[in-house]
Amino acid sequence: MTVPAGFCHEPLADWSREDNMMKMSAAVRKDEKELNKTYPTLYPLFIGGERVIKTEAIFSNNPASSGRIIGLITKANAALIHEAAEGAYEVWKKLWRGVLFAERADYLLKAAEIMRERRFDLASLAVFEVGKNWQEADADVAEAIDYLEFYARRMLELGEPKITEETPGELNQIRYVPRGVVAVIGVWNFPWAINVGMISAALVTGNTVVFKPASVSAIIGWHIVDIFRKAGVPDGVLNLIAGSGQEAGEELIKSPKVIGIAVTGSKETGLRIQQLCSQYPCEYGFKEIVAGEFGGKGKIIVDSDADLDEAVREVIRSAFGYSGQKCSACSVAIVTEDIYDCFLRRLTAAAKSIIVGRPQDPGSMLGPLISKKALEKVREYVEIGKREAKMVYCGEIPKAFSSAGYYHPPVIFADVPVDARIAQEEIFGPVLSVVKAKNFDEAVEFFNHSDYALTGGIFSRLPSHVARAGEECGAGNFYINRGITGAMVGRQPFGGWKHSGVGSKAGSRNYLLRFLYEKIVTENLMRRGVALADC
Amino acid sequence: MAMRLITGGIYLAKLAIEQRRREIEQELRRLVSKEMRPARSAYWWYQLFARRIMRDGELRAQAMRFVDVFPALKNPEGINRHIKEYFAAGPHSSSLLFRGIVGAGRFPVAKHAMALMAGAAVGAMAGHFTIPAEPPKIIKSVKDIRRRGAEYSFDILGEQVLSEEEADIYKQKYLKSIGLLRGFNCPVNLSLKLSSLYSQFDPLAKEATRREVAKRLKEIARPVKDSGGSLTIDMEQFYLRGLIWEIAKELLSEEEFAGFANFGIAHQAYLCDSEIFLEEIIQAAKERRASFWVRLVKGAYWDYEAIAAGQKNWPIPVYTAREQTDASFERNADIALENYPRVKTAIGSHNLSSVAYVMAKQEFLGLPKNAVEFQTLYGLGTPLIRPLKEMGYPVRVYVGTGNTLEGMSYLARRLLENTSQMSSAFFVEQGRIRR
């Protein structure tokens, strides 16, 4: 086992229990009122422990009803951003890097406790700010708690002194040294889990952090920082700025005080940040991406002998859960010729039966996309798809709320050529391409024809095919006879290669090492030919 | 003092019931083994097969996998490849039989013959537990069962319902069977899985689920009721139980079904909270005009429940030891029998100990023999039918109908159930081992 001792998953809510339904329902009703005020709350930034409120602000709205602003947050200008980075550097040097690892781990465990107590309230925020349905929102919060628990306990293991080799008369010890100021560039699709994961990893390893949440989930970003403050993290250790990626994000990365970047975003974001790292060096070391997760193009192979009951159900879930706005989502199904027609028929019928609904209503499976920009991008790809392949299904959005938010219906393209743009580029929406393969060999070849290597899977019951797929398919997370989303912290450490990511897998035992330098201390224990200590 | 007397009395009663249970069990074993003696074709082979694979865990898993994948295989090449990969590796591969079979697969003629043989074997096994959904076969099985003096109940096997289109097809299958039985003037006895009546069946989508299921359920329940037949609702996975029960209660609360007497639910004794839930059922039965059937079973989703809960880090809802389930079964039987005739009890177990316990308890309470109905699974519980009838009890046979593909998941479940540690139906095997 590779999970640290004492780690235990936060269980997802059991919705068959009336009490959970009532609690979530109460949280949602409360937020429905609260977040619909005429004068929305203006949230401050946190810089060096100070609350900073300025007149210029960005707003975050409810994607299911785009007119509704659920909160405003102060926009950070260049001066504020640099102030935040410099302040973080001072606090790191003078305080945080010297704090004992066990104490730092303890802040994470306290934050986990606070989140556990407020689980349904926090989930409800994800319902309204990023349009997650109940189940997805709950899972997001539970995963955030998992990260806190996992990294805290992993740090407790790492912090214990270790020696490299038993050597007579000499002591060789490993110590871990924090890097400095880490910029955390947040993401909106798992506004709790991924951001809490990146921040907690940076903090527990002794780095100070300037966190810039995605603008569309800035209010949850504020709450994350608030939770760490309530957990007792000292002033200035975790700073919050807000603004767009192009402006605030780039300005932060450019700071000479920033040495590491933890980021989740698109492939383009990743390439751009690498460029900035070399153009704007850090003044006390090499600046680099310590943890980067950059999109994917999840694919599932459906083999001739697949159990179609399972394959269809899981492809649907993986493709359309949270409207396909997951890096791990299944975007392409590669189906062997002999079952292609049958699979497609059942798939299309199943897509028709998906409940499209408002995120706040329990039971909705497919809700809105995150923003107008996202909606336009998906529409564009659907147009491209119509030219490249055959559109076999396009659902409908109920009239009652279709115009209120950024909804896009589920879409399925069939007979998609493997090199078509819709089968190659990340769409991040409810669009599924079905590719026909002559046989299993061709299916594997199609699978690997990709810019990304993040998630993938196969439905097959032939042992040799299962073994070969596990060996040959390029994907950081590969699943056999199950869906390809919902990786769990510690159980399925998450991340890929090619243009899907840099660094170690999130939720793995190696992740924290990326935030640390490894130092070997060698001490000669002999004095004038006499060993002075047992070693 | 009075307290001690009462506990003493209960203790004595328990002792008497236990004594009687042993006598009945012995008698049952004697009668059942008489039924077992002739090497009855398919059943005998099944027993042989089950015994063989029960001993070898690895072989059992591979056989299960083969039965599971078989209906998806469309040509001899596919069948051969699977046979080879499933059975040619592993400890049993050294046996002469397997080497012979796999080796023969290299020759084109033998390849086809082997595929045919495998097909025939799996088909015969499926045919032993299920009936093809064809009118003559169904009618024949009804006659067959009635000739033995038993009643029947049909369960229409299906693939998973993934879409509304498929839910409608499933409903149509039910309506067709209902029409068929009514055409022959047979009462329609059905057992039903509500989750197959709606593709998005989920406690989270409660409103939609209730609405859609109720719509289709009423269409099925109406002709069943009119035919004087019976309807039993399966309680399925624990996660769905609350919602299923709610929908069942809603149906009964409607005026149209208020007097529907042959309505029941399958109640699973392996659930840790089964007694509390049974009290709830009884409460509902008391508020009702007509009586209510409780089909007491041990439960068929044991592996699933334990695994699903384990993966989610939820409390395991089922008893993890076989003896706990057996004890719970008896406690639930006590509660159900004590509430006769408000609830009527049906016993869905082949375990002779459990069956004997219910009979002993029934005698102790002075209930008439027809207060309890004993139910057996088609093909599997056949040796139980005659002994139960001879002893004077009503018997009902549960029959799964469907095509090979649909029959297969049922067959896989039965196979698993009857060869696993938790098996509640593997009565003959146990009997032999004990002797």
- Cα(B391)–Cα(B361) distance, rounded to whole angstroms? 15
**Contact check, Cβ <8 Å, A353/B208:** no
CB atoms B72 and A306 under 8 Å: yes
Of B425, B274, B400, B379, the closest CA to residue B335 belongs to B274
Which residues of chain A neighbour B68 with C-beta distances below 8 Å?
307, 461
> Residue A123 and residue A141: Cα distance in Å, rounded?
6
Helix, strand, coil tally for chain A in percent (to 5): 40, 25, 35
Contact B369, B123 (CB under 8 A): no
**Domain A18-294+500-519 matches domain A298-480 at the CATH topology level:** no
Using CA atoms, how far residue A514 sits from A181, A239, A502, in Å, is 13, 21, 10
What pLDDT score does B102 carry? 55
Of B69, B238, B242, Cβ closest to residue A305:
B69
Q: Which residues, in sequence order, are bridge partners of residue A211?
A: A184, A240
Q: Is the pLDDT of residue A127 over 80?
A: yes
B82 at interface of A, judged by CB pairs closer than 8 A: yes
Which of B81, B162, B208 shows the shortest C-beta gap to A313? B162
- Per the CB < 8 A criterion, the answer to whether B231 and B190 are in contact is yes
Residue B228's nearest CA partner among B194, B188, B259 is: B188
Q: In terms of C-beta distances under 8 Å and separation of at least 24 residues, what long-range contacts does A14-23 make, across chains too?
A: A14/B239, A14/B312, A14/B314, A15/A134, A15/A135, A15/A362, A15/B202, A15/B203, A15/B204, A16/B203, A16/B238, A16/B239, A16/B240, A16/B241, A16/B242, A16/B243, A18/B242, A20/A120, A21/A362, A21/B203, A21/B206, A23/A120
Q: Model-level pTM? A: 0.94
CA distance B394 to A187: 65
Are β-strands A452-453 and A431-437 bridged in parallel, bridged antiparallel, or unpaired? unpaired
Instruction: Enter the DSSP assignment of A249.
Output: I
What is the token pair recorded at B149? 């003096």
pLDDT, mean of residues A239-263: 97
Half-sphere exposure (Cβ direction) of A98: Cα atoms closer than 13 Å: 5
Q: Say which residue, A15 or B33, is predicted with more confidence.
A: A15
The answer to whether residue B200 neighbours chain A at the CB level (below 8 Å) is: yes
Query: What is the residue-wise DSSP string for B261-326?
Result: -SEEEEEETTBTTHHHHHHHHHHHHHTSSS-EEEEEE--S-HHHHHHHHHHHTPPP-B-SSHHHHH
Looking at the predicted structure, is the pLDDT value of residue A389 above 70? Answer: yes
pLDDT tens column, A14-32: 999 999 999 999 999 999 9
So what's the pLDDT on residue B214? 97
Alpha-carbon gap, residue B349 to B331, rounded angstroms: 14
Does position A454 have pLDDT exceeding 70, yes or no?
yes
- Mean of the per-residue pLDDT values of chain A: 96
Residue B375 predicted with pLDDT over 50: yes
Interface residue B69 vs chain A (CB under 8 A): yes
pLDDT (0 to 100) of residue B111 = 67
Cβ neighbour number for residue B152 with a 10 Å cutoff: 22
The band of B103, judged by pLDDT with boundaries at 50, 70 and 90, is low
pLDDT at A303 exceeding the cut of 70: yes
Alpha carbon distance A513, A37 (integer Å): 45
How far does the CA of residue B244 sit from the closest CA of chain A (Å)?
11
- A54/A74 Cα distance (integer angstroms): 6
Of B73, B160, B162, the CB nearest to A305: B73
A298-480 topology per CATH? Aldehyde Dehydrogenase; Chain A, domain 2 (3.40.309)
Tokens matching residue A456: 């993938």
Query: In chain B, which residues have their Cβ closer than 8 Å to the Cβ of A306?
Result: 72
Instruction: Dump pLDDT digits (tens) for A188-201.
Output: 999 999 999 999 99
Interchain contact, B72 vs A309, CB within 8 Å: no
- At B221 the three-state DSSP class reads helix
| H-helix or E-strand spanning residue A94 | helix A78-94
- Residue ranges per domain, chain A? 18-294+500-519, 298-480
Active-site positions of A read 293, 327
Q: Which of residues 205-244 of B touch A (CB under 8 A)?
A: 205-209, 238-243
The stretch B54-82 carries a mean pLDDT of 81
Q: Which amino acid is at B363?
A: E
CATH of B132-402, one of 3.30.413.10, 3.40.710.10, 3.20.20.220, 3.40.640.10: 3.20.20.220
Strand bridging mode B263-268 / B230-233? parallel
Q: In one letter, which amino acid is A225?
A: V
Rounded CA-CA distance A453/A446 in Å is: 13
- How far apart are alpha carbons A9 and A147 in whole angstroms? 9
- Minimum distance, in Å, between the CA of residue A133 and any CA atom of chain B: 10
Domain map (residue ranges) of chain B: 132-402
| Tokens matching residue B280 | 């709830």
Mean pLDDT lowest for which of A173-187, A294-308, A401-415, B90-104? B90-104
How high is the pLDDT of residue B434? 28
Q: State the nearest Cα–Cα gap between B347 and chain A, in angstroms.
A: 27
Contact B327, B353 (CB under 8 A): no
Nearby residues of B305 by Cβ (< 8 Å), 6 or more positions away: B237, B238, B270, B299, B316, B317, B318
B304 touches chain A (CB under 8 A): no
Give me the architecture of the A18-294+500-519 domain, per CATH.
3-Layer(aba) Sandwich (3.40)
| A330-336/A298-302 β-pairing | parallel
Q: Does position B50 have pLDDT exceeding 70, yes or no?
A: no
Beta bridge partners of A289: A261
**Could you please report the per-residue DSSP string of A186-231?**
--SSSTTHHHHHHHHHHHHTT-EEEEE--GGGHHHHHHHHHHHHHT
Do residues A361 and A64 make contact, with C-beta atoms less than 8 angstroms apart?
Answer: no
| CB atoms near residue B2 (< 10 Å) | 6
Residue B38, SS3?
A: coil
**Quick one: closest CA in A to B312, which residue?**
A11
Chain A residue closest in CA terms to B79 = A305
Instruction: Give the distance from residue A510's alpha carbon to the nearest chain B alpha carbon, in angstroms.
Output: 23
Lay out the sheet containing A238-240: strands in order across: A50-52, A45-47, A238-240, A208-212, A181-185, A258-264, A288-293, A501-502
pLDDT at A520: 97
pLDDT, tens only, A484-518: 999 999 999 999 999 999 999 999 999 999 999 99
Mean pLDDT value across residues A209-235: 98
pLDDT band at B36 (very low <50, low <70, confident <90, very high): confident
The reply to whether B65 touches chain A by the CB within 8 Å rule is: yes
- State chain B's maximal CA–CA distance in angstroms: 84
Mean pLDDT value of segment A109-132: 98
How far does B84 lie from chain A, in Å, by closest CA?
A: 10
Which of A120, A208, A353, A472 has the alpha carbon at shortest distance from B165? Answer: A353
Six token digits for residue B180: 């068929």
